[in-house]
Amino acid sequence: MDNLTIKINTYTARLTRDRIAGGSGSAISYYFATIVCRGEGWDVILRFLTPESPLLDNEVQSSLKRIYVNIPGERFPYHMDLLRNEKPISFSIFPDQPNVASLYTGAEPVGEEEDQEEYRRKITIKRS
pLDDT digits (tens, 9 = 90+) for 78-115: 999 999 999 999 999 998 999 999 999 988 777 766 55
CA dist 128 and 124 (Å) reads 6
Using omega within 30 degrees of 0 as the cis cutoff, is the peptide bond preceding 109 cis?
Answer: no
Residue 124 has pLDDT above 80, yes or no: no
β-strand partners of 90: 7, 104
Q: In the chain, what percentage of residues exceed pLDDT 70?
A: 81
User: Which structural domain range is residue 25 located in?
Assistant: 4-127
Which amino acid appears at position 17 of this protein?
R
* pTM value surpassing 0.85: no
- Number of folded domains in the chain? 1
Per-residue pLDDT tens for 67-77?
999 999 999 99
Q: Once rounded to an integer, what is the mean pLDDT over residues 3-24?
A: 86
